[in-house]
Structure formats: structure tokens, C-alpha cells
Amino acid sequence: MRYLTFIFLLLTAFTYSQKNTEVHVFDIEKSGEKYLLKNGKNISNNKGYDSQPFFYTDQEILFASNKNGNTEIILHNLVTGKNELKSNTKNGGEYSPQRIPNSDHISAVRLDTDGLQRFYKYNYTSKKNTEIITDLKVAYPNWFDKNTVIAVSIVNDSLELFICDLKKETNLSVAKNVGRSVHRIPNTNLMSFISKENKDSWLLKSLNPATREIKTITSLKLEEDVTWLPNGVLLISRGNLIYKFNPKKDKQATILFSFTDKNINNISRITVNSDGTKLALVAEVSE
């Protein structure tokens, strides 16, 4: 079981570590219905695995990065260009770092060297960590509010979606066979997630954590890395392209941006800051 745990969480990490991935940040400029990505910058600039960016503030980004053979939490300041180490775990590595709502502290999935995988809180100043969810193998979490985590978790040999109520200490499974992308849908009380029940075409679905109602938003073919602009436009990564799709009026996704930089290939994780002015992505470096 420990071997399965390692595979499910680090399948992407293992692949990227062989191919070398970097975190890039771009300015987003919008003119009418058109978007431009400008002033791209590699903020990780590090051999090996760099992934899972998350905007701590509009000018600061958390990401997981390979440091001396271990994966640590890094906080990058876009103004100063400096990186700050926010974890110091000696017997494990951190993944999926995020800011905890209404707090300065950070959450992350930690995989220990003995195979134990749990979801932790990291004190912003001291870096000390405490378990948040003690009885679930969380792999890809996202916060709905300060008391609720929507977590893609490992159950036997598959991934399931859970609503985790931290106050009541309950974990409710609401969907099976899901993907890794979980996001808050802007200006709603809904979360989006990826359903892989249809092997030929994965579906983006919405979840209402209060009512547990699930609805289909659109088909994603076989893509699973998405994010949302503040105006409700969905962004989808595919190869060296980013597509956009407005669920309210579009019938199909169209290309938002095509990258010609040889060091931006096989784009995976993408995320946008709260005011929609910056986009971070993870891409493989060309050999």
C-alpha cells in the first residue's frame, strides 16, 4: 500500500524530475475578448522538479521545489525576485502548498520517507507543522473555506473526491475516479473537479459543498490541468497551448495563447492570481 501511495502522489513528480520542469509567471493583458501573456519569467530556475504553483498573494507564489534531493515549500516574491524556504522537514517532502484561508499559514501534503502521507499545516514563521486531516491520504487538496477542504485522496488503488469538514472532523466521499485539479469557481459557492469516469473524455464538474449537488460543466477530452480567471473564464493547458472557455456562452474552447519558447513544453499546472493580472504555469524544459 505504501508503494501505491508513492505512485499516486508522485507519478507526475517522477516524470517531471526526469524531464526537468520549471515554474513560469506571465503578466495577463486583456483587450476586448483577447488575452496576451507578456513578460514571462522562470521563477524556479532549478534542476529537477518544480511544480504546483499557488498565489499566496497577488505578488507572491508558493510552489514545490527540489532542494538537495528533497521537495520543499518555496515562497517566491515577484517584486524582489527572492525565494524563501517555508518548510524544513528532514524525513519527508512537501507537495501542493497553499495558503490557508483567513490565515498567514500554509498547508501542504507531506509524504514521509517511510511512506506515510498526510495533510499538514505549516506555521508561516516557525515552519513547525501539525496534521490537519489525520485519517485520509490527501493527494490534491483545495480550500473551500477555513473549515472545509475539498480533497482528492487516495483510496485503495484510485482517487476519490472528499468534502472534509475540519470542525466536525468528517470526511465525506462524493465522487470516485477523479483527476488532480480542484478549484474554486469565481463568484460562486462551487468547486470544480475532474471526473474520469468516462475514459474517452474526462468531464469538468461542479460541486456544491453545502448541498453536495454535482453538475457537469464541459468535456475536457483528456486534459486535467485547468484554472479559472476571476471573470469566470476557464483556462485549460494542452501541450504548449492554453485554451479558454466561457461556460456561459462558448460552445467549445479556443486558443488563448500559443507558446513558441522551446523551454515551455507539455504545460501542466496553471493558476491565476486573485485580480487576474498574472498567470503561473509549469512546463517541461527542452532537452
Number of domains observed in the structure of the chain: 1
Provide the pairing of β-strand 50-57 with 34-42.
unpaired
pLDDT of residue 30: 86
Look up the domain containing 67 and give its range. 2-284
Q: What is the pLDDT of residues 9-53, one digit of tens each?
A: 444 443 333 468 999 999 999 888 789 999 999 999 998 999 999
Give, rounded to a whole angstrom, the gap between the first and last alpha carbons of the chain. 34
Q: What is the pLDDT of residues 202-246, one digit of tens each?
A: 999 999 999 999 999 999 999 999 999 999 999 999 999 999 999
| Gap between the Cα atoms of 270 and 187, Å rounded | 19
| Gap between the Cα atoms of 183 and 186, Å rounded | 9
**pTM strictly above 0.85:** yes
| Gap between the Cα atoms of 73 and 261, Å rounded | 27
In percent, how much of the chain has pLDDT > 90? Answer: 83
Determine the average pLDDT of the residues in 55-64. 98
pLDDT higher than 90, residue 96: yes
Q: Which CATH number do you get for residue 50? A: 2.120.10.30
| Gap between the Cα atoms of 261 and 286, Å rounded | 9
Mean of per-residue pLDDT scores for the chain: 92
C-alpha cell at 49: 522538479
Q: What is the pLDDT of residues 162-173, one digit of tens each?
A: 999 999 999 999
Determine the average pLDDT of the residues in 57-66. 97
pLDDT of residue 157: 87
C-alpha cell at 213: 449537488
